[in-house]
């Protein structure tokens, strides 16, 4: 979901179009008047009736239809632009009550981000791109690596790592007796002989906490609505009078941000529906103290295990915003 796939970019295009139209008309009229009424041009017949005096209206030379048009057309344009802006806000901030969303609490501290998962997520890199597929069900973990350079596999469960070697002849790894526990954070990473990461499979249970202080990314599934509940909290809660500082969670490549307000128990909300896999930057757009520049991170858009990010759910610039708003599409 890059910025060109958001309602904000569509709105920008529409505002830019009408700005150009108004600019062409305004500057065109200005240059025409400069040429027509510049010093040295032969004066218009009966020019005395065009003489303008301060505090008096040139009744004898006004054009009623033209003057009405100068009022009516700008008013229509302003109303139209206002309606587009309000429709975009509605599409961004309004979620149908019956819509099931993927929920994560984002906590801004001094000076790092924490991500508290309220829903579980099992995701995997696209096997079509890596030629590696991880299947972990029950007590059997299988890694298929046909056509890849994979040689080693690391299995990490609740922070405990074990390393395995792939059977190069069969191009696969089969581990029995290693039972999958949906309540534990589990990661399977596949490497080549030079320890280059080729493939990742990961399970994030409900209650998982990731932090940019440890170099971890916010991980969000593609092709479904996600809701971030944003809170500003102190990293040290020993002083009950201190409620934290103002932050602003900013996704610059998507053109969206939302403030984190200290002391606001309900927090603020950001919603989106990404459809492009990849890694995108996170920044803090509100000065939050000495190490404000360290309030950086990344968001990974991934496909759930067994799914892909092939669907295009973003707003296309060739389609009007109103069409998407009526169908419930969102940035």
10-residue mean pLDDT series, the chain (331 residues):
59 85 90 78 61 63 78 89 78 61 94 96 94 92 93 94 92 89 95 95 96 95 90 88 92 87 91 87 95 94 92 51 36 39
Task: Provide the 8-state DSSP code for 3.
Answer: G
**Contacts for 111 with CB less than 8 Å, ≥ 6 apart:** 288, 289, 290, 291, 292, 294, 295
What local confidence, expressed as pLDDT, does residue 56 receive?
A: 64
How distant, in Å, are the alpha carbons of 29, 33, 48, 62 from that of 41? Answer: 17, 12, 15, 22
What local confidence, expressed as pLDDT, does residue 317 receive?
A: 35
What local confidence, expressed as pLDDT, does residue 57 receive?
A: 62
* ω into 134 cis (within 30 of 0): no
**What is the phi/psi pair of residue 280, to 5°?**
-125, 150
What local confidence, expressed as pLDDT, does residue 328 receive?
A: 38
What local confidence, expressed as pLDDT, does residue 286 receive?
A: 94
What local confidence, expressed as pLDDT, does residue 330 receive?
A: 40
Report whether 219 contacts 297 (CB < 8 A).
no
Rounded distance between C-alpha atoms, residue 18 and residue 82, angstroms: 12
CATH architecture of the domain with range 102-327 = Sandwich (2.60)
Which regions of the chain does DSSP assign to beta strands (E)? Answer: 102-109, 112-117, 121-124, 133-137, 140-144, 150-157, 160-165, 172-176, 186-192, 197-204, 209-211, 218-221, 226-232, 247-251, 256-260, 268-272, 278-284, 296-302
Residue 251: name the closest of 271, 224, 237 by CA.
271
What local confidence, expressed as pLDDT, does residue 14 receive?
A: 82
Indicate left, alpha or beta for 40 from its phi (over 0: left) and psi (-120 to 50: alpha). Answer: left
* DSSP per-residue letters across 72-132: HHHHHHHHHHHHHHHHHHHHHH---TT---EEEEEEEETTEEEEEESS-EEEE--HHHHS-
| SS3 assignment, position 199 | strand
What local confidence, expressed as pLDDT, does residue 77 receive?
A: 87
The predicted model scores a pTM of: 0.73
């Amino acid at each position: 979901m890059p910025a060109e796939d958001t309602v904000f970019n569509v709105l920008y295009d529409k505002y830019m179009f009408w700005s150009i139209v108004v600019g062409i008309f305004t500057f065109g009229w200005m240059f025409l008047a400069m040429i027509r009424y510049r010093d040295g041009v032969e004066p218009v017949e009966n020019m005395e009736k065009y003489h303008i005096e301060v505090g008096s209206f040139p009744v004898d030379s006004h054009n009623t239809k033209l003057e009405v048009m100068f009022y009516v057309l700008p008013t229509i344009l302003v109303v139209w632009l206002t309606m587009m802006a309000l429709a975009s806000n509605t599409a961004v901030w309004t979620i149908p009550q019956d819509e099931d969303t993927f929920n994560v609490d984002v906590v801004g501290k001094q000076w790092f981000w924490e991500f508290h998962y309220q829903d579980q997520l099992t995701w995997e890199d696209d096997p079509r791109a890596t030629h590696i597929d991880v299947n972990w069900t029950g007590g059997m973990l299988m890694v298929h690596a046909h056509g890849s350079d994979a040689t080693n596999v690391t299995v990490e469960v609740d922070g405990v790592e074990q390393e395995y070697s792939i059977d190069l002849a069969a191009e696969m790894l089969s581990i029995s007796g290693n039972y999958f526990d949906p309540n534990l954070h589990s990661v399977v990473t596949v490497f080549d002989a030079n320890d280059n990461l080729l493939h990742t499979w990961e399970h994030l249970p409900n209650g998982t906490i990731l932090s940019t202080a440890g170099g971890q990314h916010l991980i969000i599934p593609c092709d479904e609505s996600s809701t971030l509940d944003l809170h500003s909290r102190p990293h040290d809660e020993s002083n009950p009078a201190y409620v934290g500082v103002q932050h602003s969670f900013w996704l610059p490549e998507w053109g969206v941000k939302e403030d984190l307000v200290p002391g606001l128990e309900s927090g603020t909300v950001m919603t989106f529906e990404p459809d492009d896999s990849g890694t995108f930057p996170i920044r803090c757009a509100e000065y939050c103290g000495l190490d404000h520049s360290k309030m950086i991170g990344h968001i990974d858009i991934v496909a759930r295990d067994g799914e892909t990010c092939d669907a295009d759910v973003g707003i296309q610039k060739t389609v009007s915003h109103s069409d998407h708003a009526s169908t419930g599409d969102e940035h």
